[in-house]
Amino acid sequence: MYRIDLNCDMGEGFGPYQLGVDSELIKHITSANIACGFHAGDAATIRRTVQLALQYDVAIGAHPGLPDLAGFGRRKMEISSREAYEMTVYQLGAVMAFATSEGGKVAHIKPHGALYNMAAVEPKLATAIAEAVYKVDGNMMLYGLSGSELIRAGERIGLKTMNEVFADRSYEDDGTLTPRGVEGALLTNSNLAAAQVVSMVKSGTVRTRLGNILQLKADTVCVHGDTPGALGHVMKLRELLLQSEIRILKSGEH
């Protein structure tokens, strides 16, 4: 039986500014990656998103990013391995504190944006992030780009890793995501996005932006909460996954 965890990046507003429709998206996913305050999010937003996840029995995840609020954490920064470690511990702690105070726990961690993409290809950064997670809670799951350096670093240190694929992004031939500034990077057609996920889950392949076939492993699939039409994407994705006899379960459920 095929299965997949369906995750979404959430809590990516701050103060009076809200991004996405978290209160609706949360009803259709199994795992939420909650912004930790560096690229987005603040104390009130983290708490509110944790409460939403608990209300709908959705797994709570921390979503640490680079300290770049103006750039939404999507601009690459030169950081050391030590800084990556400390940023991860700091942000993970914020979400863990709110989860604990609300009667829940953090099940996984998934880096955000540029930090995620950097850790996918830079072994030293990947190792620093994996070590941070392991030292805080070795039972926590590490989400990373399928087949990436981050996944390998997590496996080496003894973490449970989740190979992540994307419904709304295109792929390059080397397995990385197409940079957002490149035409065709975002998949805005819900049917095409859903069909891409079914292919990744059932055949372990995806057609790259240049038309080649790429092998990958799919443990969890992400729909970005800030993508235009995200709610329609996730509803169509659930529908097609179920039609294709793919079970949608939280990581660790059977």
DSSP codes of every residue in the chain: -EEEEEEEEE---BTTB--S-HHHHGGG-SEEEEE-SSSS--HHHHHHHHHHHHHTT-EEEEE---S-TTTTT-S-----HHHHHHHHHHHHHHHHHHHHHTT--EEEE---HHHHHHHHH-HHHHHHHHHHHHHH-TTSEEEEETT-HHHHHHHHHT-EEEEEEESSB-B-TTSPBPPTTSTT-B---HHHHHHHHHHHHHHSEEE-TTS-EEE---SEEEE-TTSTTHHHHHHHHHHHHHHTTEEE--TT--
Question: Which pLDDT tens digit goes with each residue over 51-104?
Answer: 999 999 999 999 999 999 999 999 999 999 999 999 999 999 999 999 999 999
What predicted TM-score, i.e. pTM, was given to this entire model?
0.94
| CATH architecture label of 2-248 | Alpha-Beta Barrel (3.20)
Residues 19-32: what's their mean pLDDT? 92
Q: In this structure, are residues 139 and 107 in contact, taking their beta carbons and an 8 Å threshold? A: no
Confidence at 16, pLDDT banded by 50, 70, 90: confident
Confidence at 149, pLDDT banded by 50, 70, 90: very high
Mean pLDDT is lowest, of 29-43, 68-82, 189-203, for: 189-203
pLDDT of 229 = 77
pLDDT of 254 = 53
Q: In this structure, are residues 12 and 19 in contact, taking their beta carbons and an 8 Å threshold? A: yes
What does the mean pLDDT of the chain come to? 94
Domain spans of the chain?
2-248
Residues 23-52: what's their mean pLDDT? 96
Question: Which is more confidently placed, 59 or 184?
Answer: 59
pLDDT of 127 = 98
Number of CB atoms found within 10 A of residue 184's CB: 10
The first and second tokens of residue 134, run together, are 């392991």
Residues 147-159: what's their mean pLDDT? 98
